[in-house]
Structure 1
Amino acid sequence: MPAFALPDVFVVAPESTSEFDPAAVAAAGEVIASGPEALYRRLVGDQESEVVFLLARHALKGFCSGDGPANGAREPTGHGGVDAQGGADRIAEETAEVRRRIAALLKPLGEAEPRVREAVLAQRAPLALIGGCWLDSVSQPATQPATVVNHLVRHQFAWRGEGNPRRGLHRLRGRALEDQGVFLPDVTAPDFLSQAEARPLTAWHGAYYLSLARLPATFLPEVFGTHYVMATLGVDELLLGTRPLLAEADLRAALVDYLALAPAPVRSRVCAAVERALALELAHARLLVEVAEWHAGLSLDAQVGRIVARHAPFAGKQHRNVRVGRRPLAERFGDPDFDLGAFVGEFRASPQLKPRAGGCRFLQAIKFGGPMFGIFDEREAATFERWADAVAAGEPPGVAVAPLTAGDGAARALAAAVAAPPSDVRLRPAERGDDRDFLHRLVNIENFPNTLALARAHAEEGLARAEVLFTHGGGGVLTDASWFDYSPVALNERVDRIYWNKLVNPYRPLTKIPDRDEVVFGQKTFALGSMIDGAWAHRIGATGRYTRRSDGMLYSIYADEMGRGDVTKNHITLIYQVLASMGIEVPHLREAAFLDQDELPDHLYGFSLFQLSLALFPDSLYDEILGYNLGIEMFGLGTMRMHEMQKLRHYGFDVAYEEAHLSIDNLSAGHARQSAELIVAYLHDVAKVSGADAVPAHWRRIWRGYASFAYFIEHELVTGLARPESADVII
């Protein structure tokens, strides 16, 4: 049985296939048949369903297949055949050359008139505002504590504003867009793509990047290649005038490390991903140029036609007495064969546009006090004024403009490629198996998305079961999950009481150290949970969800658990150091060989199974994760840790894991205090948005999350209740 040893040289998931329930196929097919916009919306709006994993498989197959439409735009340069440094240098040179080409294409757009530039920026927004999404869950139980993954954690931490959403990449780009006159809803909003007037090819490109976000362990070579190219090219920085948050030297160093560890087939995948990302970005730059040229070529008549088309669907019966070209407006706009060009021509000649003292009737109608005031925004109203002046001056009608079709050929090819069934998919209903099997499936969820329904049921069952401690939790040794009504003061009082009365004041140094075997066995009871340290929060802060203060605070805690990208400070590295100091060797959790390990006790899997199940639902179980986080961060303090350190030191074992938690989880300003503060911040936001009456329901869910942690810790309390339930002994 191969044992895991540091450093972790993981470069790609050991399995490449995925299991799906047959029912997921039809649901995924419906989304794909609805077009790239539907696919983009589902991928950005859903990180919890089996269907979205299958959609990601479809998209990545369509883009990554050797003869796919996203390949072949550039000839492979073969830089996978040289050493890591040389390969990275050649990739850097090629990327720099493409950046120069893109910069030349985009430079004239900066000098375009505002309406044209805004159209270009809006077209790019569906890619700009999901930038870095491929790193959303690259750090996970299956990939930690890999050296190469921690490079990406460091980059993600910078892109997420070091835990402050307002300084994060997406917020900075959003503000830059608004500074230049582009105001769009959130990327998860149903109308985001329509407001951006996104071309199908733009949506397809976004779907590719979002698909990498769903399967980063399986497609880590593609993530690495894409990440280097996108961060180094800096197309959005070129367009928006913002500064890059990552240095090219740091990006190249990470790429060198990855190429050095990767075997030849994986290096080839990285190089193919580099070529693909360069081709996609070059193609999108050209699309932006086409969009700019199309908008710049719009006559005033065509600009008016676009405004009419945008508002016509909302013109109701109030227009029944208004006629243009002898037909009521309500009738014309409701006609499925409505001819926009003919309408604009007839509107030109209509009485509503004829000049008269004080302005034409139409312009009077859209001004303050008129019956149409407020329908058109300032820019639209100004366009109508220029048009009316031009018509009055005798300017002839503008030449009809052909529909915008930029990128449509490539989009059609992608539609066909993505629709074809992926060859790396197996259809079968999920089977939970025993605890070891279930753990393997949860850790490698990218390969077993059909397990998500089982995980959801397992998490809900554990949460419901834990509510017994609302009544009996005060008897806990290390926790107190008994119910109390929320207020910020009450929460902090409870936290302080648990800290002093249960974790600190009872501490007395051990007067007798257990024998060596007992100490080793005790560490084994902790080990499985420690190997997934931070897992409860590893999906927090994904693209489109990193907006609240609590998001940044919880993500920051997770980043700390992972050493903020410094693998020597990564808590999972530390637990493996501790085990190695005791001579305990096991395969990594992600490996199938872990199913056969005989070092860790079988009856302790429940704690990890619950945590991994909870972690897979960061949107729908967000409240519960906040409460669970409070419980686990406070658990790192006081008597238990001090005693463990005393026992480990006595036998010369490594104490780094215990020391790290006793320090970083401190109640003064560490994770324990931050965990309480982020709950207060979150519930403040709930009250501000939904009203104070909404807070109690959210608080109940948060506190059952705390209770669900306590349920696994307080074995004696739980087993002593009138209706005992099984719980794992982890102390």
Structure 2
Amino acid sequence: MRPFTRSSDQAADDDPAALSVRTVFARACEPESSSLPDALRSEIAAELSLEDGGPQDAAAVSEWAAAQRERFAALFATAESEGCADVLVRRAALACAPLASVSGAWLQWMSEPGNAEEAVTMRVLALYAGDVGAGHPRASRGSAYLSLLQHLRVAVHAHPASQLAQDRRIADRSFHLPAFALTMSRHPNAYRGEIIGLDLCLREAGMLPPLDGVQARHPHGIGWDALDPSLARTPDGPSAVDDARALRAAFVEEAGAAAVERGFAWAFAALRQWCDEVYDELDAARDPGFEMAELVQSRAREASAYHDRFNVQGRLLKDWLVEARTDPIPFLAALANSRLVRPGRSEASRLTGSLVSEKGRMFRVFPDQDLDTIKRWIDALPTDSAQRAEWRPPAHQPRRITLRLAPDSADGDAPGDIRQAYTALLQRATTPAVRQYAQRYVEKRLARCRSDMEPSPRTLPGEQPPDGLRPWLLDQHDLHNDEFHDGMDDPLPDRADLIDSTLQLAPLTLIDGSWLAGSTDYQLASSERGHFLFETYWDELGNGDLSLNHPLIYRAMLREMGIDLPPTRSPEFAAWSGFRDKSFETPVYWLSIGRFPRTFEAEILGLNLAMELSGVGGSYRRGRQSLEKYGFSTAFLDIHNTIDNVATGHSAWAADAIDDYLAQQTPQARPDVWDRIRAGYRSLNPPPGLLSRKGARRAQSERRSHA
């Protein structure tokens, strides 16, 4: 174990190519994270190529985890007998926070519009849906861990998870594994097998071993089962580790075992190293001097500015504190023998008495937890001065981890036409040029929709409904129903026109739900309104059941019509001569706006409502009649007319998500936010014509002038 030192920190700070692992973790948590992962490719490759030499099979992980739990249980039992178990509980909970708060998040981008019809993707998404508690707000495994941190009253920087990087009570090593796992999650096509392997390893290990001692002392009031990634999230469901094993088998059958084994081995090595460091830290923290040394070192820089007149043991306190930034032990020895401290008697010491009282010169300088640390140290000091002179705290200090970045990848080329854009945007990870193309495409379409946005029966009301959107939703459903019955006698399209219209909708329908792709991000998928959006996306892809997968159902209908299209993510699909260019305009919009779940959150909520409501009670029923007339399957329209219903289905969820979003806004902000929602609603079918396009160009010009 290394002594207290900050020399390596300073060296890292002076290196412009170095980046703290905390920063990597925080940025990789962001739903719109883009360029950072590219810069880390060489670091990831180096990590995955490390030769560990340890056991790499599932049984070895389970055995190791069981042994570690016994090891930590014994350590906590020793601390209990020494009266310091609460210290270990707090430190263990914080050490586990970066990994446990994002449990399962590395699966967040594994499903993408281009692979939404594939069996492996659906297995991944089913596993991930359990991790985020699909269908329920604040039900993710990370949310359960936040509840634990709040219960222990240590959740100072715990929400969102990216804020954990601000918590200096957590060592860098605790960010290492989740930072790399999350970074790989932003490049799912490059690390698909490795992600499946590391996920399986973590599920085989089960609940993080340091939490064994925490659970034993806080068994109630916390959903502990949710903190074990090997367990199911529903009482009658298969265990998550069994699902992960099945996922591994399915992937290996398609692509081989090498990448999975590489990810599994890396995760196991990282987990073992982290666990050993946490154990050393907790063991060291049993000594009150360890936390006191940490406290002095963490506060020495700011404190040195205020103590240039006070002497301790014949030396300016300022000088002691400057030295304590790299080595706090000499100062602690001097402080222990000063008149500020009564060894063994914190209640009689000036440092924890008169100096920090309401009239003291250090009032409120130390929060309660810091005062507890100081008191614990004073009470443990030997009363014999000779024994104090020999005292040294345990010399354990977790290292700071920095990463050297490779040069960022080139921006690349923007898509040359709408079909190239479609293919490029089917993948989550894209070049900066493609990302810029997507943002400009969204902004241009929304600008058209903001132009002359007069209320009509086909748009959202001009002002936010005072009673929420549910009454308006029912009115729209009545309108659809009336239109359906009024058109009962209208002629149905002929067979050729029906087939052509079905074909032209294929680029759109085969990426069903893609406008919500960004809502699969871990911290959004179980939020108050995000859980509605994630469950909608999850439904569109069949909830893990390929027989209910909407793109596959649509493909089956096309085959009945004599059309067998190439795979959606292949360049041949977008280049297929049977499609008209216009058929890609709305799909590219969906694929583009789905990349920006925060930037365009209000607009996505409006678009989602428009999409889920569009056919319910009206055009779906009309379309069913057409398909039925020519003997084609009506399954695709039947399933949408039921799951999109306005009472308990996607339309209702879409309205509720908007009402929740508006409730979070200030009264002053709501009109502008409502206008953004209205523009998003209108963007499903933007206004045509020259005037709207001129209005769009004018609006874009005005926005640039104010930027």
Q: Same fold (TM over 0.5)?
A: yes
**Structure 1 residues 248, 546: CA separation in 2 closer, same or farther (over 3 Å shift)?**
closer
1:426 is displaced (CA, Å) by: 6.5
Q: Out of 561-570 and 612-621, give the one that drifted further.
A: 561-570
Match of 1:219 among 177, 185, 191: 191
The TM-score normalised by the length of structure 1 is 0.81
1:389 is displaced (CA, Å) by: 4.3
Match of 1:62 among 46, 53, 69: 46
1:720 is displaced (CA, Å) by: 7.9
What's 2:167 paired with?
195
Aligned residues of 1:510 and 1:646 also touching (Cα < 8 A): no
Q: Out of 224-233 and 671-680, give the one that drifted further.
A: 224-233
What's 1:168 paired with?
140
**Structure 1 residues 359, 278: CA separation in 2 closer, same or farther (over 3 Å shift)?**
closer
**Structure 1 residues 326, 524: CA separation in 2 closer, same or farther (over 3 Å shift)?**
same
What's 1:16 paired with?
none
Aligned residues of 2:113 and 2:514 also touching (Cα < 8 A): yes
Please say if 1:399 is aligned against 2:391.
yes
What's 2:670 paired with?
695
2:202 and 2:315 map into 1 onto residues whose CA distance is 53
Q: Out of 331-340 and 667-676, give the one that drifted further.
A: 331-340
1:288 is displaced (CA, Å) by: 1.7
What's 1:484 paired with?
462
1:519 is displaced (CA, Å) by: 0.8
Aligned residues of 1:516 and 1:651 also touching (Cα < 8 A): yes
**Structure 1 residues 255, 31: CA separation in 2 closer, same or farther (over 3 Å shift)?**
farther
Q: CA RMSD in A?
A: 3.3
What's 2:261 paired with?
271
Aligned residues of 2:451 and 2:692 also touching (Cα < 8 A): no
**Structure 1 residues 30, 658: CA separation in 2 closer, same or farther (over 3 Å shift)?**
farther
1:629-668 equivalences in 2 (<5 Å): 629-668=608-647
Aligned residues of 1:56 and 1:215 also touching (Cα < 8 A): no
- The alignment partner of 2:648 has SS state of coil
Please say if 1:524 is aligned against 2:503.
yes
Please say if 1:352 is aligned against 2:346.
no
2:577 and 2:691 map into 1 onto residues whose CA distance is 32
CA displacement 1:81-110 (0-9 Å, x = unmatched): xxxxxxxxxx54344333334334433344
Match of 1:116 among 73, 88, 94: 88
CA displacement 1:541-576 (0-9 Å, x = unmatched): 523445631122221222222222222222222212
Match of 1:42 among 27, 31, 47: 27
CA displacement 1:111-141 (0-9 Å, x = unmatched): 3422133223312211111111111122210
2:490 and 2:114 map into 1 onto residues whose CA distance is 40
Match of 2:435 among 442, 452, 466: 452
Aligned residues of 1:563 and 1:571 also touching (Cα < 8 A): yes
1:63 is displaced (CA, Å) by: 2.2
Q: Out of 346-355 and 171-180, give the one that drifted further.
A: 346-355
Aligned residues of 1:40 and 1:203 also touching (Cα < 8 A): yes
**Structure 1 residues 75, 351: CA separation in 2 closer, same or farther (over 3 Å shift)?**
closer
1:575 counterpart letter in structure 2: Y
1:271 is displaced (CA, Å) by: 2.2
What's 1:719 paired with?
689
**Structure 1 residues 328, 191: CA separation in 2 closer, same or farther (over 3 Å shift)?**
farther
1:65-104 equivalences in 2 (<5 Å): 65=49, 68=50, 71-74=51-54, 91-104=57-70
What's 1:671 paired with?
650
What's 1:15 paired with?
none
1:697 counterpart letter in structure 2: D
1:160 and 1:190 map into 2 onto residues whose CA distance is 17
Q: Out of 531-540 and 494-503, give the one that drifted further.
A: 494-503
1:443 is displaced (CA, Å) by: 0.6
**Structure 1 residues 664, 389: CA separation in 2 closer, same or farther (over 3 Å shift)?**
closer
1:108 counterpart letter in structure 2: A
1:462 counterpart letter in structure 2: R
1:523 and 1:116 map into 2 onto residues whose CA distance is 63
1:338 and 1:381 map into 2 onto residues whose CA distance is 22
- The alignment partner of 2:260 has SS state of helix
**Structure 1 residues 352, 722: CA separation in 2 closer, same or farther (over 3 Å shift)?**
closer
2:381 and 2:662 map into 1 onto residues whose CA distance is 57
Please say if 1:207 is aligned against 2:179.
yes
1:174 is displaced (CA, Å) by: 1.9
Aligned residues of 1:666 and 1:673 also touching (Cα < 8 A): yes
What's 1:432 paired with?
415
1:177 and 1:550 map into 2 onto residues whose CA distance is 23
What's 1:497 paired with?
475
Runs of 5+ unmatched residues, structure 1: 1-28, 77-90, 712-716, 727-731
Please say if 1:540 is aligned against 2:525.
no
1:629 is displaced (CA, Å) by: 0.7
1:658 is displaced (CA, Å) by: 0.7
Runs of 5+ unmatched residues, structure 2: 1-13, 80-84, 216-223, 697-707
Aligned residues of 2:553 and 2:635 also touching (Cα < 8 A): yes
- The alignment partner of 2:622 has SS state of helix
Q: Out of 427-436 and 634-643, give the one that drifted further.
A: 427-436
**Structure 1 residues 500, 468: CA separation in 2 closer, same or farther (over 3 Å shift)?**
farther
- The alignment partner of 2:167 has SS state of helix
1:267 and 1:314 map into 2 onto residues whose CA distance is 53
2:532 and 2:246 map into 1 onto residues whose CA distance is 32
Percent of residue pairs bearing the same amino acid type = 22
Aligned residues of 2:541 and 2:548 also touching (Cα < 8 A): yes
Q: How many residues align?
A: 654
1:675 is displaced (CA, Å) by: 0.7
1:94-493 equivalences in 2 (<5 Å): 94-111=60-77, 112=79, 113-180=85-152, 182-186=154-158, 188=160, 192-195=164-167, 197-236=169-208, 239=212, 241=215, 242-243=224-225, 244=228, 245-246=231-232, 251-253=241-243, 255-256=245-246, 258-260=248-250, 262=252, 266-296=256-286, 298=287, 300-315=288-303, 322-326=310-314, 329=317, 333=321, 340-353=328-341, 359-362=348-351, 363-368=353-358, 370-390=360-380, 393-394=383-384, 396-397=387-388, 399-401=391-393, 403-406=395-398, 415=403, 419=405, 427=410, 429-446=412-429, 448-468=431-451, 470-471=453-454, 474=456, 479-481=458-460, 484-489=462-467, 491-493=469-471
Aligned residues of 1:581 and 1:653 also touching (Cα < 8 A): yes
1:709 counterpart letter in structure 2: L
**Structure 1 residues 580, 59: CA separation in 2 closer, same or farther (over 3 Å shift)?**
farther
1:589 is displaced (CA, Å) by: 1.8
2:683 and 2:634 map into 1 onto residues whose CA distance is 28
1:622 is displaced (CA, Å) by: 1.5
1:645 is displaced (CA, Å) by: 0.5
2:47 and 2:432 map into 1 onto residues whose CA distance is 21
1:615 is displaced (CA, Å) by: 0.4
1:301 is displaced (CA, Å) by: 3.9
1:708 is displaced (CA, Å) by: 1.4
1:671 is displaced (CA, Å) by: 1.0
**Structure 1 residues 402, 384: CA separation in 2 closer, same or farther (over 3 Å shift)?**
closer
CA displacement 1:309-364 (0-9 Å, x = unmatched): 33334438665654434555566546797752232222223333359998333222
1:582 and 1:95 map into 2 onto residues whose CA distance is 51
**Structure 1 residues 32, 671: CA separation in 2 closer, same or farther (over 3 Å shift)?**
farther
The TM-score normalised by the length of structure 2 is 0.84
1:194 and 1:49 map into 2 onto residues whose CA distance is 18
**Structure 1 residues 388, 455: CA separation in 2 closer, same or farther (over 3 Å shift)?**
same
What's 1:13 paired with?
none
2:43 and 2:159 map into 1 onto residues whose CA distance is 19
1:97 counterpart letter in structure 2: E
- The alignment partner of 1:166 has SS state of coil
1:447 is displaced (CA, Å) by: 5.1
2:508 and 2:347 map into 1 onto residues whose CA distance is 77
2:203 and 2:261 map into 1 onto residues whose CA distance is 16
What's 1:10 paired with?
none
2:95 and 2:692 map into 1 onto residues whose CA distance is 62
1:646 is displaced (CA, Å) by: 0.4
**Structure 1 residues 399, 330: CA separation in 2 closer, same or farther (over 3 Å shift)?**
closer
